[in-house]
Structure 1
């Protein structure tokens, strides 16, 4: 429909009842807080979409929905927006009849947005009621070129009940200008979309028009700089495009290509219809209320879909964070299981440990005589050890055990770090973090020294156990034959077999070593005490290993916590949306 007079838009009919003034603002504040508390720090596939959606929704709640729900009688805000060079500022000046905003000569133009209002309506805009993040500015100070400010101009040429806001270009090459333009458009009761005969089919404006339709924003279209000989053709084409996109009944005004006056104004005849239409809206409280309520209702109607989308995207972030947490948990749990297996399967009783054990007991013949009689063998060992120094062989065996256990722990910790880093690289949101923290791909600096201390402390624990268990036995010949160190290393030795001592029927030198050590200790403490002591020794080692691995795993948790910050771990948007729905 082509506007030819000053009557208000006849299609803008009420679509719902006025929201409950006592409940709706509180529910909207709850939703705003929920959206503010929702963050998308992980680089998941839809993270950018989520951040943009959050920003758009938050801006519209702060800039329009909440303030409008709190003040339905505030002036109607018409935001004049459009493409670069469409003539928005010239149009605004021409409608008002005086120079209130400066057209940009060079592109892109970076400047404060200008809001023109009647002097009696100043109190509606000098506060932070709308666009609270923009600083207020009056006059022509240096701040007029700061895009983070809102320049207020009072003019009696603007009727009470109406305000015009000249917005930056929606397709500016400066991203800050584009973002601000979209923010201002989301704060509008009415969007006056300005385009030209050569640019009305551009993709960016139509994308924003589709958003306006989706959110229920009232729209009027101004087709500027139309050559007279192409007027009918351009009109018909634009009308078809508007009809196809659901804007067939939006008011449309055509401005012929004209020579500007010395003051930079359009001919009065070209803006009379637009000026008259806006004046009729301002003068007719009912028509103005229809536009305001329709746009507010449309914005409220859009909250559910937009909020549900953020819910889904937020859950995607929580799922990614959970997966990132689980990866190192599983890797270090598997590492601990590997250590448990390594200290029970006899693998530590080979190599250097076996050589030192043979040195300790003078093995060769002893192992061959194992089945000839454990009692006789034990007596031979005791007798042999009485006649030679034992401190050095015991120390050598203890060192070999220490080295073997330390290597076992370090190897599994390195494997867990590698597995965790690999899992993060393939988990949504994890690759950028592991790239930023490459140190996580290996055990922490100084981990080897921590393991060395932990194993030595564990060996000290075993020696304390031996002292405590020995009690009065310390003076017996058998105890004296081996000493605290010798008995402790034998206890460590038998701790590293699956059954706290392999049976004599099992084959292999390592198995024989464990059997021999077990039988020697049983001669001192008894079989039940040996089983209890060896199980406790293993448990103490695994407890220290668990502490070490937990500290390594916490490196991943700390990095993840630092990256995601205070991201919400639960859904607050769903209950907030339900509250808004109940309050309408």
Structure 2
């Protein structure tokens, strides 16, 4: 009967690792910052390491030791697995890749440990070989002792991309990696990249130098041992399997693989040795995951900085457009076209300089004209204001979109956002023209309401009656449009003089400032809505608020739980 496993998890460590998994998984790296592709891969592998190995192993420390057999193409991994087990459990052949789906061999009484909810949850379990890499073939045999399982993985340098990715995932889920290579392939770069990664995180690794000719064994073994030592694998076992014929069952003889086989059977029967292997790999995986999480947090910080700069460019671009509109509104430039012509037509040359008593005499005529359905000249002015103001808003909205487009295109992150956006960002939105016209119309209606409210508080003068609400509102618009003008046309200057005489200088100044502020508010709202499409695209790719702090805090929480003296350190 096997003794109880000495290493114990703690609720604090498990909870901390679950929080870390959540923080890493939700750390968006959607912007194309420097090394973003590499860091997204790191985030993905870190999540896989937590889900496939660390969390399952931590909650079941007494589960069988999982040995993943991996290595170079054609190194003889499947033959070695079959020979260690003592029967053909994994397909062998000359075509590459041979191992298309992983094969996991275990003792029948250990079957429960390899259910999908316990380890490698995204791999479908099958009872027969599968053609694709999305499934794992389970083989139960009493030839393998309890306490250890062997997983034959695809080649790490497979020509098939999915096989290579799966091999990496399986190796990251191993308690022990049995790396199989040959005298002809032992120095290949790709497998050594995996081995170097295993050495960095302190994983348990054993190396099998397969298919080695006797006269080359000493030289190759020495070179391989030096390579292992240089990559942090000095203490990893190294086994030599000579080139030899297979028996009638296609297996290596016991004499050839006896050393490897005995070592693995000893691990299965020796709780202390097995626990040591598991503890070394698990502790190394946790440490490496924390380290990787800090690296991902740095990437999140870089993304937050890039997102902040892109956001600033949007806000700066539309603030500039807002300022341009308000400058055009107040510097008299709106009166150089249709608005000025309509206004002059409304007031008539010198008409505002006549005595107000003459205008009172025209009240009756205005009233008669309104009953006859004649169009008020003040309405013509209002329509010209609406059209001109709407055109100005569209002009500067287009400029803002182009300005932001140029700013974003100058950076890698911004350029990628523009390329991948579902909406066009280099022009104003299609509906902006109608929204701008509506805003101009609503502002004029608001100005008329302002005039009505002012009139309600005062006794109506003859001049007010002569102009009417529409006329006073039109005159007020002319005052707003010339507040910052360096030179003013005499006709438009008359608007201020007339309103001063009707309402009083201070009242006109207050009304003009109020009307301008209201127009500014509406312009600001329009452009805030217009820039939202840029900000929505950015928000969909930028890290969520607090992601950096959450990730750093979760990583520190794992370290604190690991070093808690109240439990045995892994």
- TM-score of the alignment, normalized to the shorter chain, above 0.5: yes
Structure 1 window deviating more from structure 2 (186-195 vs 116-125): it is 116-125
1:491–1:534 Cα contact (<8 Å) kept: yes
1:462 matched residue in structure 2: 447
Distance 1:551 1:127, change over 3 A: closer
Structure 1 window deviating more from structure 2 (440-449 vs 526-535): it is 526-535
Distance 1:467 1:301, change over 3 A: closer
* Offset of residue 384 of structure 1: 10
2:524 matched residue in structure 1: 546
Equivalence map 1:117-516=2 (5 Å): 117-138=106-127, 140=128, 144-363=130-349, 377-379=354-356, 382=359, 393-437=377-421, 439-471=424-456, 476-498=461-483, 508-510=487-489, 512-516=490-494
2:46 matched residue in structure 1: 57
Find the aligned partners of 1:27 and 1:509 in 2 and give their Cα distance. Answer: 71
Find the aligned partners of 1:111 and 1:496 in 2 and give their Cα distance. Answer: 76
Find the aligned partners of 1:168 and 1:381 in 2 and give their Cα distance. Answer: 100
Find the aligned partners of 2:289 and 2:469 in 1 and give their Cα distance. Answer: 75
Find the aligned partners of 2:233 and 2:450 in 1 and give their Cα distance. Answer: 86
1:557 matched residue in structure 2: 535
Find the aligned partners of 1:148 and 1:566 in 2 and give their Cα distance. Answer: 32
2:210–2:242 Cα contact (<8 Å) kept: yes
1:97 matched residue in structure 2: 86
2:568 matched residue in structure 1: none
Distance 1:472 1:167, change over 3 A: closer
Distance 1:577 1:565, change over 3 A: closer
**Residue 114 (str. 1) matches residue 103 (str. 2):** yes
Find the aligned partners of 1:255 and 1:575 in 2 and give their Cα distance. Answer: 48
Secondary structure (helix, strand or coil) at the match of 1:100 reads: coil
Find the aligned partners of 1:81 and 1:583 in 2 and give their Cα distance. Answer: 32
1:6 matched residue in structure 2: none
* Offset of residue 441 of structure 1: 0.8
Secondary structure (helix, strand or coil) at the match of 2:549 reads: coil
2:27–2:543 Cα contact (<8 Å) kept: no
* Offset of residue 80 of structure 1: 0.3
* Offset of residue 33 of structure 1: 1.8
1:108–1:174 Cα contact (<8 Å) kept: yes
Normalising by structure 2, report the TM-score. Answer: 0.89
2:64–2:110 Cα contact (<8 Å) kept: yes
1:578 matched residue in structure 2: 556
Normalising by structure 1, report the TM-score. Answer: 0.87
Secondary structure (helix, strand or coil) at the match of 1:199 reads: coil
* Offset of residue 328 of structure 1: 1.7
2:565 matched residue in structure 1: none
Secondary structure (helix, strand or coil) at the match of 1:253 reads: strand
Find the aligned partners of 2:251 and 2:68 in 1 and give their Cα distance. Answer: 19
Distance 1:18 1:477, change over 3 A: same
- Cα deviation, 1:278-320, whole Å, max 9, x if unaligned, reads 1112222211122111112222222332111011012222222
Find the aligned partners of 1:40 and 1:277 in 2 and give their Cα distance. Answer: 44
Find the aligned partners of 1:19 and 1:323 in 2 and give their Cα distance. Answer: 47
Find the aligned partners of 2:358 and 2:156 in 1 and give their Cα distance. Answer: 93
Distance 1:261 1:233, change over 3 A: same
* Offset of residue 564 of structure 1: 5.1
Find the aligned partners of 2:45 and 2:210 in 1 and give their Cα distance. Answer: 28
- Cα deviation, 1:1-40, whole Å, max 9, x if unaligned, reads xxxxxxxxxxxxxxxx956534322222221222222222
Structure 1 window deviating more from structure 2 (556-565 vs 171-180): it is 556-565
Equivalence map 1:512-531=2 (5 Å): 512-531=490-509
Find the aligned partners of 2:38 and 2:545 in 1 and give their Cα distance. Answer: 17
Structure 1 window deviating more from structure 2 (250-259 vs 205-214): it is 250-259
